[in-house]
């Protein structure tokens, strides 16, 4: 919308002091002709923007033109900036809106807080794209048109039609009553009900969405955190789960917990290793998790898992055995 663009233009000039029409066009993702028209509109509306000629010229605001957001202390301002650094908004298609909002917040802060809060925020990093082992944490891509339609239905309380591609199934259209949106490690989920039954849909598997005019059948208020916890619990305790009795080196306990669904029992063995009863989603999950731990873990039961790991190790040893 043009009004939002005009506000962003003013804030960019406030932040940078002077910018050329080309630079403004690049920041606002419009043409230079549009920028010139916007500058003219701002001037007509009484905003003190003026042009400076020359190679280093551009557009600028008269010094002192600003409004301030009062009532925020330093820690509150810092909290806002840190919240703006989180990537969760991108999962809901609000990345550009978040960037615009943070620009407005920084501009409106009292000068005494603006510089110190912004400097402090540069020294705090939340959820980087890679971990210490350089494993990239890839956010799932969801088309803006899809997530915007889902978001509108959730916030308006309307029924929603989604073309959903469930795992190992052909995509199907289904009508749901949306309850809320959740983002976990840059993966977005839609919590909904369908024919009165709880359903959880991964946004990256929603191929198309359509907000309907019919009101959704859902409670007026919802404890989304509790709803998510309940569904997570059902997920961990359902399906083709397997329970494994194993021993693990204490140094690798956290690695095991990062992959297991649940730990049902745990005690220390006489040699210092941990004896644990652990649940995995299925047999392939159990085999994969134990294989990652190499000689730092030993599956005690079930027998089929021991056989599977032994066969895999034998095949690997054969592959890299000394040739005659």
Q: Which of 30, 32, 94 is nearest to 59 (CA)?
A: 32
Distance from C-alpha of 117 to C-alpha of 69, rounded to nearest angstrom = 14
Q: b/e per residue, 48-78, with b = 16+ CB within 10 A?
A: ebeeeeeeeebbbbeeeeeeebeebeeeebb
Distance from C-alpha of 201 to C-alpha of 181, rounded to nearest angstrom = 10
The length of the chain is 324
Q: Which of 35, 42, 1, 41 is nearest to 21 (CA)?
A: 35
Is the Cβ–Cβ distance between 153 and 211 less than 8 Å? yes
- Look-up of token digits 């991964």: 202
Distance from C-alpha of 256 to C-alpha of 253, rounded to nearest angstrom = 5
CA 119 to chain centre: 24
Distance from C-alpha of 138 to C-alpha of 23, rounded to nearest angstrom = 30
Pairing between strand 242-248 and 206-215?
A: unpaired
Q: What is the DSSP letter of 203?
A: G
Q: Alpha helices, DSSP H only, in the chain?
A: 2-16, 21-28, 32-44, 74-84, 88-91, 95-108, 111-121, 144-156, 224-237, 253-257, 283-292, 303-319
In order along its 324 residues, the chain shows pLDDT tens digits of 566 777 788 878 877 778 888 888 888 888 888 888 888 888 877 778 888 776 667 888 887 665 454 455 556 666 666 565 555 556 566 666 666 666 666 666 666 656 666 666 666 565 666 666 666 666 667 888 898 899 899 988 999 999 999 877 899 999 999 999 888 776 788 999 998 888 999 898 999 999 999 999 998 888 888 888 888 777 766 667 889 999 999 999 988 988 888 888 999 999 999 999 999 888 888 999 999 999 999 999 999 999 999 999 999 999 888 665
Pairing between strand 58-61 and 18-19?
A: antiparallel
Following CA atoms 288, 293, 296, 298 in sequence, which dihedral angle do they give, to the nearest 10 degrees?
-10
């Amino acid at each position: 919308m043009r009004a939002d663009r005009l506000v962003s233009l003013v804030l960019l000039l406030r932040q940078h002091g002077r910018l050329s029409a080309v630079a403004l066009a690049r920041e606002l993702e419009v043409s230079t002709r549009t920028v010139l028209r916007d500058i003219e509109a701002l001037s007509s509306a009484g905003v003190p923007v003026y042009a400076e000629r020359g190679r280093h010229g551009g557009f600028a605001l008269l010094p002192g033109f600003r409004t301030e957001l009062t009532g925020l202390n330093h820690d509150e301002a810092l909290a806002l900036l840190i919240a703006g650094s989180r990537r969760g908004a991108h999962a809901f298609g609000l990345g550009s809106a978040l960037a615009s909002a943070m620009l407005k917040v920084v501009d409106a802060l009292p000068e005494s807080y603006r510089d110190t809060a912004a400097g402090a925020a540069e020294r705090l990093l939340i959820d980087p794209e890679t971990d210490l082992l350089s494993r990239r944490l890839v956010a799932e891509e969801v088309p803006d048109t899809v997530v915007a339609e889902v978001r509108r239905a959730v916030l308006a309380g309307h029924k929603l039609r989604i073309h959903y591609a469930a795992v190992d199934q052909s995509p199907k259209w289904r009508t749901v009553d949306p309850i809320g949106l959740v983002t976990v490690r840059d993966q977005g989920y839609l919590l909904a009900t369908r024919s009165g039954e709880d359903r959880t849909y991964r946004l990256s598997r929603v191929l198309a969405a359509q907000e309907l005019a019919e009101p959704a059948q859902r409670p007026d208020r919802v404890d989304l955190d509790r709803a998510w916890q309940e569904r997570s619990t059902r997920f961990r305790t359902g399906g083709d789960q397997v329970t494994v009795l194993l021993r693990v080196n204490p140094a690798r306990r956290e690695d095991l917990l990062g992959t297991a669904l649940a730990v049902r029992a745990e005690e220390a063995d006489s040699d210092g290793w941990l004896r644990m009863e652990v649940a995995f989603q299925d047999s392939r999950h159990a085999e994969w998790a134990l294989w990652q731990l190499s000689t730092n873990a030993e599956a005690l039961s079930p027998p089929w898992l021991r056989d599977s790991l032994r066969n895999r190790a034998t095949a690997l040893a054969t592959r890299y055995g000394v040739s005659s």
